[in-house]
Amino acid sequence: MRGFRWLLLAAIAAILAAVAGSYLSRTARQASELPPPPPDLPPNIAATSDTWVHTEYEGERPIVEIRAKKMRQLREPAAFELEGVELRIFQPGGYDRVRCGRAEFDIEKSTLYSEGPVEMTLDVPEQGAEDEASLVHIESSHVRLDTKTGRVTTDQPAHFRFPRGEGRSTGATYDPKWRDLRMHQDVALRWYGAGPGEEIVIEAGQLVYKEDQDKIYLSPWSRFRKGALQLDAASSVVTLRDGGLDRVDARQASGRHGEAGRRTEFAADHLVMIWGPGMALEKIVGEGSVRLVSRTATSAITSSGERLFLDFRPAEPDSVLEHALLMGAGRLQLQEMPPSGKPGPDRILTSEVIHAYLRNRGSEFEKIETGAPGRVEFLPRDGEGVRRRIEGRRIWMLFAPENRLELFRAQPAATWTAPPAGSGRAPQRTWSDDFVARFDVASGELLRIDQTGDFRLEQGDRRARAEKGVFEPPRDLFLLLGEARIADARGSTSADRILWDRRKDAVTAEGSVASTRLPDEKAGEGDLLAPGEPVHARAARMVAHNSGAVVVYDGGVVLWQGPDRIQADHVVIDRGKRTLAAAGSVVTRLRMQEAGGAAEGPPRFTVVRADEFFYTAEHRVAQYRGKVRLTQPGLEVSSNQLRAFFAAPAGAGEQAGGAGGKRKLDRLVAEGGVRVILKKAGRVRTGFGERAEYYLAEEKLVLRGGRPKLVDSERGTSQGDELTYYARNDRLLVDGDEVRPAMSRLRTRKPQAGPGGGE
């Protein structure tokens, strides 16, 4: 037993030795594996760390969280030097993230500053962004952040990236409390559309992006460029929608659309640009002192008003301006410079509502029309040409390429035209239901005006009206069509068609012509047409020259003054020469004064039929030719030619056609196949010869030539070389010669039966 005890003790000792050895061995091994103790910290370093997290709270809600892969805590000043920094500024539903390589965190000032590159990402979702490109990224340097407010600022160049766009500025500030991003100066932003040519460039002095409002505020100046469109303004507000532009509100704005040599310009005190899907420009609205200008190499259209609406059509590669609307005191001025170099007149349109339709991608006007009553003025630039003013309830202007005016229309229309200075013409006014003016595209010259529907014209004492009026300025011609009528202080003319040649001062009327005119007030003694009494005419055609000084009638002419009447196929009245001529089936019926000045009674007429008629007031002679036949009470004359001589007036009021409207026929001279019939008290005397003279006052008939003869219904026939018959005392003188002596054949008178039945 005692030996077992020692054996047990030896075993225990061996176990203890083994355990002790194992412990010492493990202790030595562990001691050898421990890292060396860290070196002593530099004097100004309070602590260091490989990972570091700092969180700022507002109550229990975290405001800012700063994470760094490495941290060194400085003693003086109290700050943290951080590496691999990520800062989160918490917002509802997410956070704004700031990352940088190195930063310094000032504990007392609660600021984080990074001198090197910094990237800031806005509105990162809590669960993290699936697509970083859908977020807003800001890159800069020398960035300072207030950890209590989350406000970030820098005075260095900054670069921005956002969905479908990017930007840059010098200096920037972001305040998460107000959700606004400020770009301090030299701002430039680019938005990229879905397709080529849809890039939008925004430039400004300063920019404020209100994230919670989806608005961008630009000041003190701003500029927008998209393709052929550029807008310059003072301050502007950009409204965003789904990451793209929705609306731009600009102050003191001016813009242009198109190329330098062919473009449209616009301006307004307040201007709004409205964008559609794909950032396609849809509309521009301007208010306050608006202005719209379309320029080409040879023309310019300048318009102004109180409100402006520009409508754009989406197209590739850029939106196309196709319609403009001016409202409120609208004014549009067209200036043309033809290739000839001579400037055309200014055309000025005014109306409360003006529509303009554009073509050639919005660089040229195609049509202008008013939506309210308007007025157009045509004003010569040198001040010496014709001035026109046209007013209408609706107005249209159509343009050829290069903004060349091609057609002008107004409904209904009232016009005023002032002739050039020194022309001696009075201003002209017209009215019509429809007015259409056509222009030469190359020269800008007015070619023709058509006025339809109740056309009326006034110029001085001249008046005209018709269903339609046509004016050709190059020839200075007026054409009146349909129930046409033209009148002045001296008379009027109506017809189916009237042509007024103002250059020649001639009027041509055709179709159912009817004219009324007062004879010349200065008519002298012997004029066939009496002064002061209107002269009427009917014909198929009439031409009047020199303000009616010469008038020509053709076709079924009927001319009358009171009961006096002239009919013919052709009549010419020359008031200057004081003549009247007629031809073709001539019939004249003129009032006559009783021979010998008999007392007043029923009017006596002398009716003459002939092929031709000519009257001259200078000699007071009416000449008839061809198949002449004159009739008046008690007298008939037939011959090949006839001259009627009128007596000089006996006193005032008795000049031809004077008071009482009676002429005094003095003498008749008939030639060629003459036959004269005298009727008096139931007795008929018929004279034959080649020449006859009849003196009405003396009732004396002289027959000559061709062995004249006189046949008396009661006394028979007398014949000789010359017969002179005095009807008043029934005396006949017959002259003969030795070869052909005078001869008479007397008819025996049968005694009348007496009461008793005897002879």
pLDDT in tens, 316-348: 767 788 898 999 999 988 887 766 556 667 889
Top-confidence range, 521-535, 561-575, 581-595:
561-575
Whole-number pLDDT of residue 482: 94
Q: Is 699 helix (H, G, I), strand (E, B) or coil?
A: coil
Q: Which is it for strands 374-379 and 346-359: parallel, antiparallel or unpaired?
A: antiparallel
**Distance between CA atoms of 519 and 513, rounded to whole angstroms?**
18
The confidence score (pLDDT) of residue 328 equals 93
Q: How does residue 740 score in pLDDT terms, banded at 50, 70 and 90?
A: low
- For residue 626, what pLDDT is reported? 93
Q: Whole-number mean pLDDT of the chain?
A: 83
Q: Are 442 and 339 in contact (CB under 8 A)?
A: yes
Coil, strand or helix: which one is 27? helix
From residue 470, alpha-carbon distances to 98, 389, 495, 502, 570 in Å are 80, 17, 15, 13, 28
Q: Are 116 and 100 in contact (CB under 8 A)?
A: yes
What's the pLDDT band for 19 if we cut at 50, 70, 90?
A: low
Give the residue with greater pLDDT, 575 vs 412.
412
User: What pLDDT score does 59 carry?
Assistant: 86
Specify which residues 353 forms β-bridges with. Answer: 327
Query: Strand, helix or coil at 11?
Result: helix
User: Is residue 210 scored above 70 in pLDDT?
Assistant: yes
Distance CA 493, CA 506 (A): 13
pLDDT tens digits, 106-116? 878 888 899 99
* Owner of token pair 């010349």: 520
Q: What is the mean pLDDT of residues 192-196?
A: 63
User: What is the average per-residue pLDDT within 581-588?
Assistant: 94
User: Pairing between strand 579-592 and 70-74?
Assistant: unpaired
Integer angstrom CA distances of residue 3 from 9, 17, 616: 10, 21, 196
Rounded to whole angstroms, the Cα distance separating 475 from 448 reads: 10
When pLDDT is cut at 50, 70 and 90, the band that residue 755 belongs to is very low
Query: E strand or H helix at 507, and its extent?
Result: strand 506-517
User: What is the 3-state secondary structure of 603-669?
Assistant: CEEEEEEEEEEEEECCCCEEEEEEEEEEEECCEEEEEEEEEEEECCCCCCCCCCCCHHHCECEEEEE
**Residue that wins the pLDDT comparison between 103 and 602:** 103
Helix (H) or strand (E) holding 16, with range, is helix 2-33
Query: Is 0.75 topped by the overall pTM?
Result: no
Angle at 353 between CA 351 and CA 355, to 5 degrees: 110
Helix (H, G, I), strand (E, B) or coil at 30: helix
pLDDT value, residue 657: 46
Residue 658 binned pLDDT confidence (cut-offs 50, 70, 90): very low
Q: What average pLDDT score do residues 181-206 get?
A: 82
Tokens of 565: 């009447």
pLDDT reported for residue 625 = 95
> What backbone phi and psi angles, to 5 degrees, belong to 659?
-55, 130
Tokens of 692: 């006859």
> CA dist 480 to 491, 511, 659, Å?
17, 12, 38
Complete DSSP assignment for 361-374: TTTEEEEEEESS-E
pLDDT in the model for residue 39 = 62
Copy the structure tokens of residue 753: 């039966």
Structure tokens at 38: 């860290």
User: What is the number of alpha carbons within 13 Å of residue 715 lying toward its C-beta?
Assistant: 13
Three-class SS of residue 21?
helix
> Using omega within 30 degrees of 0 as the cis cutoff, is the peptide bond preceding 77 cis?
yes
Residue 577: name the closest of 515, 523, 536 by CA. Answer: 523
Query: Using one digit for the tens of pLDDT, what is the confidence trace for 408-447?
Result: 999 999 999 988 877 778 899 999 999 999 999 888 888 9
Residue 594 above 60 pLDDT?
A: no
Which amino acid belongs to residue 71? M
* pLDDT at residue 595 tops 60: no
Domains of the chain: 41-156 (2.60.450.10), 578-746 (2.60.450.10)
Q: Residues 39-66, buried b or exposed e (16+ Cβ, 10 A)? A: eeeeeeeeeeeeebebebeeeeeebbbb
Percent of the chain with pLDDT over 90: 35
CA distances from 203 to 162, 189, 279 (A): 16, 6, 17
Write the DSSP symbol of residue 192.
-
The Cα-based distances of 498 to 19, 255, 477, 506, 542 in angstroms read: 145, 53, 10, 10, 9
Mean of pLDDT values over 263-268: 86
Strand partners, 724: 702, 733
Question: Higher-confidence residue: 228 or 375?
Answer: 375
Residue 169: its pLDDT value, please?
94
| Higher local confidence (pLDDT), 402 or 396 | 396
**CB-CB contact of 556 with 540 (8 Å):** yes
Distance CA 622, CA 637 (A): 14
pLDDT at 190 over 80: yes
pLDDT band of 754, cuts 50, 70, 90: very low
| Length of the chain as a residue count | 759
- pLDDT value of residue 61: 86
Tell me, what's the pLDDT at 30? 64
Quick one: which of 184, 178, 177, 187 has its CA closest to 148? 177
CA nearest to 665, candidates 604, 600, 614: 604
Read off the pLDDT of residues 496-509 as tens digits, 9 standing for 90 and up: 999 999 888 899 99
Mean pLDDT of 132-149: 86
